Structures are given as structure tokens and as C-alpha cells.
Amino acid sequence: MAAGPIVFSMGMVKMFNFFLPEFRQNPYPFYQRLRESDPVHWGISFEPGIAGMWHIARYSDILQILRDQRFTHQAQAGNSAGDTSPDFIDPLQLYFSLSRQSLLFADPPAHTRLRALVSRAFTPRMIEGLRPRVEATASALLQAGQKRGNLDVVNEYALPLTITIIAEMLGVPPEGRAQLTSWAGVLIRAVDCKQSPDIYASAAQVAMEIYAYFTELLARRRQALGPDLLSQLLVAHDQEDGLSEAELIVTATTLLIAGHETTVNLIGNGTFALLRHPEQLTLLRQRPDLMPPAIEEFLRFEASSQMASRYATEDIQV
């Protein structure tokens, strides 16, 4: 590709523009158009400051890119900022520095190391131990909706269910959960597609606040370790080649966002899909043993997260 400014035609923008209201309402015609007409499409960027980007539409091409280590999460070299502290860094620097240390955006070998350390805390026994609490919380929320005679599946079921369980997993006390939900909402908007950098100011402020919150919470937890995830991450932190303080806080924040937002979307999208396909809802009621493959199909049919970005470290033909 020749160097120089990129000029977008209206046809290029209309073909695939994830900022259009029509795309937000129903993105699938846009995906189909790309697959059929321009499966490797040069178009608009997902955030300001980037002239454009390639949009890849075919499954086989996407799989190839995700498996190719020449494509990375980060454009800049380096995956870690060390023990970043809000005492000597401005809020915007803190936000981007901590983001680079997240499991969502780290590249190998940093990602490999972080994943190995975090996986030690996610034991099958710990996950299975959550089952009674998940079932009790879900049942209570459904009973409350039954008493009211109506239920907002997202706001009155999915949101309170997921934030309650992920907060209990982390060991966050009940009084801090509403604030965590608010913080998570800001951070999610910061990593979503955006046309203006304004959200970064809010995300930077949240980064300062959430760093301070978890720093204080971890200090209390060190005095009395428990069965919660933060305690297990603290154990990993104290081991040789363990998590740094910043990595520990970023990991806790990542688990909050990833465990909360994606599950809310799964419940909302899955319920909506079943209501649009009542024959499938009837089948699932008759065959509850089909629930595990049904969840996998919900994730495929109406994915909670539909885009991922990578940077090419060299010229590559797709």
C-alpha cells in the first residue's frame, strides 16, 4: 500500500460503519455485505487518532490472524509498566499503563505468565463451590419478578445476578458493589468502538479511583486471607515471579469487567433469541439437559463480544 493520506469514499463508509444506528440495531447485514463483497475491507477505525483499519470478515481469515503471533494486541513494544502507582503518574497515563497489563490486551510472554498465575486461583473446586450461591441468587431474583408480575431481564435479573456473584468471588463487600458496577460501565465504554476520545477522561478518573479502592481492599485482605479470589491472587502475588501490585489490581478489575459484562450480554441475548424462536424455547423446556450446548449456541449465534482488534507487526498477506 502506498504511503500518504487515506481518502474514504461514501461507499466505503456505508459498507461497514459500526457507528451507524442501523449497525447497532442489527449488525448482521453489514457482516454479510463484507463477506460477500469485500471480505478484507479497508475502512474506518474503531477509535479516534487512527486513520483507518482493515476489517476481516471471513471466519477462516479471522482464525488465521488470531493464531498468528505476528499479530499482536498492542502496537507499542512492551507489555508491562511495572509497579505503576497513582502517586507519581497522571490519570490518563495510569489508565493506559494499567490497560496494557490486562489479560485482555497483554501479548506473550506477559499474557502467558499472567494467565498461568491467575489460573491457579480458578480451581474446579472453587467454581463448583459457587453453584449453591448462584442458584439461590438467581431464584430470589426470579421470585421477586414473579411477585411484581414482570421482569426486566437485563436490569432486574442479569445485572444484579452477575455483579453479586463476581463481587462475592472477588471478596468485594456488599457496600462496594454499586460503585464497582458504575466503574465497570465507564471502563467498558472506554474499550468499545468510539468516535471521540472524551471517554478517556472518565476512564482515567475511574482508573485512579479503582486503583485506590483495590489497594485499600487488598491491604485489609492481607490481614485475613479467605477463600475468595482476591486472597488467592494475593498468594500468587507473594510467590516467586508472582503478580506485581499493579498486575494484581488490573487482574481483579479485568475479572470484574469480563465476568460481569459478557455474562449480562449472554443472558440478555440468549433470552431474546429464545423469545424470537419459541420452538427452541419449548424444546429447551422439554429437554433441560440441552442447556450446556444451548449456551454454546447462544454465544455463537449472538456473541457477547463481536469484534477483536490486532496490530500487524510486519507486512502480511491475508
Helix (H, G, I), strand (E, B) or coil at 131: helix
Model pLDDT, residue 14: 61
CATH of the domain at 18: 3.30.43
Helix (H, G, I), strand (E, B) or coil at 71: strand
3-state helix, strand, coil in the chain (%, to 5): 65, 5, 35
C-alpha cell at 182: 458504575
pLDDT tens for 79-95 read 343 444 444 456 677 77
**What is the CB neighbour count within 10 angstroms for residue 174?**
9
C-alpha cell at 225: 486471607
* pTM score: 0.80
Smallest CA-to-CA distance from 197 within 88, 96, 311 is with 96
pLDDT tens for 108-133 read 888 888 888 777 777 788 788 889 99
- Is residue 85 located within the same domain as residue 54? no
Overall number of domains in the chain: 2
Q: Would you say residue 151 lies in a domain?
A: yes
* Whole-number Å distance between alpha carbons of 228 and 289: 30
- Residue 155 structural domain: 80-307
- Is residue 252 located within the same domain as residue 124? yes
- Is residue 145 located within the same domain as residue 53? no
| Residue 43 backbone phi and psi in degrees, to 5 | -155, -160
Helix (H, G, I), strand (E, B) or coil at 163: helix
**What is the CB neighbour count within 10 angstroms for residue 133?**
13
Q: How far is CA 235 from the centre of its chain?
A: 25
Smallest CA-to-CA distance from 227 within 130, 159, 300 is with 130
Q: Would you say residue 247 lies in a domain?
A: yes
Of 40, 67, 94, the position where a domain reaches its end is 67
* Whole-number Å distance between alpha carbons of 280 and 256: 32
Helix (H, G, I), strand (E, B) or coil at 22: helix
Model pLDDT, residue 2: 36
Extract the residue ranges of the chain whose pLDDT is less than 50. 1-13, 78-88
* Whole-number Å distance between alpha carbons of 53 and 128: 42
- Is residue 53 located within the same domain as residue 141? no
- Is residue 107 located within the same domain as residue 31? no
CATH of the domain at 86: 1.10.630.10
Q: Spell 182-207 as b/e; 16+ CB within 10 A means b.
A: ebbebbbebbeebeeeebbebbbbbb
* Whole-number Å distance between alpha carbons of 262 and 267: 9
C-alpha cell at 181: 458496577
Of 10, 32, 67, the position where a domain reaches its end is 67
Model pLDDT, residue 80: 40
- Is residue 87 located within the same domain as residue 56? no
Contacts of 250 (CB under 8 A, 6+ apart): 98, 99, 101, 102
Q: Would you say residue 74 lies in a domain?
A: no
- Is residue 171 located within the same domain as residue 271? yes
Q: Would you say residue 72 lies in a domain?
A: no
Q: Would you say residue 316 lies in a domain?
A: no
**Peptide bond before 108: cis, by omega within 30 degrees of 0?**
no
Of 11, 32, 67, the position where a domain reaches its end is 67
Q: Would you say residue 118 lies in a domain?
A: yes
Contact 241, 77 (CB under 8 A): no
- Is residue 237 located within the same domain as residue 94? yes
Rg (CA), the chain: 21
Q: Would you say residue 73 lies in a domain?
A: no
**Angle, CA 166 vertex, CA 162 and CA 167 arms, to 5°:** 110
- Is residue 37 located within the same domain as residue 97? no
Q: Would you say residue 199 lies in a domain?
A: yes
Instruction: Detail the DSSP E strand segments found in 194-233.
Output: none
- Is residue 209 located within the same domain as residue 300? yes
- Is residue 47 located within the same domain as residue 141? no
- Is residue 59 located within the same domain as residue 93? no
